[in-house]
Amino acid sequence: MMSMKSIWSSMFAPRLIKLHGNGQVEKVYEPNALENLGDRVLQSIYFMWKLGVYTSPLLVGFLYRRGYFEYDGCITLTKVAGLIGGILAVSYVIRSLGRSTNPMYQKFVKTLSDAQNNLTPDTKQKMAQFDFEFYAWPVEFKYNELDKDDVRSRQYITKNQTSRGVLQVGSSLPCHILGYLAVHTFGIRLIYPGSLSIFNNLIYQTLIQGRSRLIDVNNGQRYKLETKDENQIDSMFIDRRNTGNSNGSTLVVCCEGNAGFYEIGIACTPISMGYSVLAWNHPGFAGSSGKPYPPQELNAIDAVMQFAIKKLGFRVENILVFGWSIGGFTSTWAAMNYPDIKGLILDASFDDILPLAINTMPSWSESIVRLAIREHVNLNNAEQLIKYPGPVLIIRRTEDEVICLEPGDVSTNRGNNLLMKMLLYRYPIIFGQYQQTIVQEYLALARPSAQDQYLAKVGYNNDASSNYVEQYMSQHPKVYPSRLGEDMKDEDVRAKVALFLVRKHFKDYKATHCTPLPADMFQLPWEVDDFVFT
């Protein structure tokens, strides 16, 4: 007779698939009639439930008009709910009975049980041959088990200080309530559509195939990390330290966009170049638990960084952080809190999500959107970036249709604002009003030929600007870069140095927002040590 443990095991790991090195996915067994029946019913109920959640305002209105919130109507709804609950329970039992009679499934259950009870390289390797519900995967790193000496004080910038005190105005209370409700219902899902469970299910097979390639083609190792707030983060590590490639000693930590997953995301670029790579999924994406609210996002990247340092053994100065789009939020936070990292690469990112949100939503909702963003989803990348003193490369997509306020107008790309805010903070003397105007005119040009013509027009000389910066750095190493330009009186010469600094921290890529970044665009950021002093 089948044990209760077998029944439960077959319930928590419903997807049994074997992965192959060629990227193909093999079904280990064909489900029998009982399992097929149970699966179809459960999937149908799940789909109807999610559809009901997303259309709940319309559904509630329909039920109200039909009188279902009156006494007799409530009795009817209760009966329907009880019937669906009974069908759900019977379907789980039927599916479990079908799986428990399959010998291969029982072998999988034993393999998983062995790994959960005693996780060793051997048991993990056997377990990793299968793909199943990630919550059954053993936790391999717990942030809360770190020594107190290892957990440093972290900086959190999640609220705009200027928004404080708004609640004191009585008329603004409804806006605060509406803002809270908007963010915690549909708002966070609009900002992070990858957290939608329906979306996750639609691309499930694609994620499986991408994970298969990472594991079997690139020798990836899957890990479950537990964050400070006990979310479980799905991550993938590709170790290239012993391959003979000089890039392998550098670990690239990849932070995905709002609909990006490590299985099919930005990690492919540094992997193709021989770097070691640690990629992870946002809370609520694929196997990761939680929701992508800022505190959970920051706890996730903190756990990822600590895992890279404490468990994988990488030195902080050998870690390069790579963020795409909304991944700039966690990337800049990691740079701010781990300032000794090798560098930071931001691709198709923005300075502040508020202008983008206001630009997207109806004009009448601006006050609600402003409060909602600043109080609950304040993704202010620029505020975090300026607190990182190290090497930065910002990549702008010249055909970006997502972070431009006006599609097709590269001058409205919020990556421009991110770059300018960083440069104004780092080089306050160089970037006066005149120099800012010159740089903004340059950034308003998308075509390389137009940029070259503009540089020629203003008399830009790369060597002269480079020599000036190098000479100043060698003579004033302790005050660079904040005092750069203090001995320069000519506004035009200072403008040319400003353009030089822009070109050192910034690259254009002729592509749309979601085009994969080619290897030749992925370059180590410029740093002062690149200069050779004589």
Domain around 226: 144-390
Q: Is 215 among the domain residues?
A: yes
CA dihedral 204, 206, 210, 212 (to 10 degrees): 70
Domain containing residue 180: CATH number: 3.40.50
- Which domain-ending residue is among 336, 365, 390? 390
pTM listed for this prediction: 0.87
Residues 139 and 153 occupy one common structural domain: no
Residues 116 and 172 occupy one common structural domain: no
Tokens 């200069």 locate to 531
Residues 382 and 468 occupy one common structural domain: no
Tell me which of 127-141, 216-230, 260-274, 369-383 is least confident: 127-141
Q: Is 406 among the domain residues?
A: no
Residues 364 and 384 occupy one common structural domain: yes
Tell me which of 36-45, 152-161, 444-453 is least confident: 152-161
Predicted confidence at residue 162, as pLDDT, reads: 37
- Statement: residue 521 has pLDDT above 50: yes
Do the Cβ atoms of 144 and 228 come closer than 8 Å?
yes
The phi, psi pair for 42, rounded to 5°, reads: -65, -40
CB atoms within 10 A of CB 14: 16
Predicted confidence at residue 324, as pLDDT, reads: 98
User: What does the mean pLDDT of the chain come to?
Assistant: 87
Say whether 476 is catalytic.
yes
State the Cα–Cα distance between residues 406 and 417, nearest whole angstrom: 14
- Statement: residue 200 has pLDDT above 50: yes
Predicted confidence at residue 502, as pLDDT, reads: 97
Q: Which of 163, 172, 411, 476 is catalytic?
A: 476
Predicted confidence at residue 405, as pLDDT, reads: 96
Do the Cβ atoms of 126 and 111 come closer than 8 Å?
yes
Q: Is 153 among the domain residues?
A: yes
Q: Is 398 among the domain residues?
A: no
Residues 114 and 223 occupy one common structural domain: no
Higher pLDDT, 109 or 357: 357
Angle (CA) 491 492 496, round 5°: 115
Predicted confidence at residue 21, as pLDDT, reads: 52
Q: Is 181 among the domain residues?
A: yes
Q: Is 420 among the domain residues?
A: no
Residues 513 and 375 occupy one common structural domain: no
Residues 436 and 383 occupy one common structural domain: no
**In terms of DSSP H, where are the helices of 220-293?**
268-272
Predicted confidence at residue 107, as pLDDT, reads: 80
Q: Is 530 among the domain residues?
A: no
- Statement: residue 64 has pLDDT above 50: yes
Residues 138 and 150 occupy one common structural domain: no
Q: Is 127 among the domain residues?
A: yes
Predicted confidence at residue 336, as pLDDT, reads: 96
Q: Which of 6, 325, 331, 349 is catalytic?
A: 325
What is the mean predicted confidence (pLDDT) over 142-164?
A: 63
Closest CA to 257 of 386, 175, 353, 123: 353
Residues 330 and 386 occupy one common structural domain: yes
Number of domains in the chain: 3
Residues 97 and 116 occupy one common structural domain: yes
pLDDT category, 480, cuts 50, 70, 90?
confident
- Which domain-ending residue is among 120, 143, 166? 143
Q: Which of 131, 400, 465, 508 is catalytic?
A: 400
Do the Cβ atoms of 347 and 324 come closer than 8 Å?
yes
Residues 137 and 260 occupy one common structural domain: no
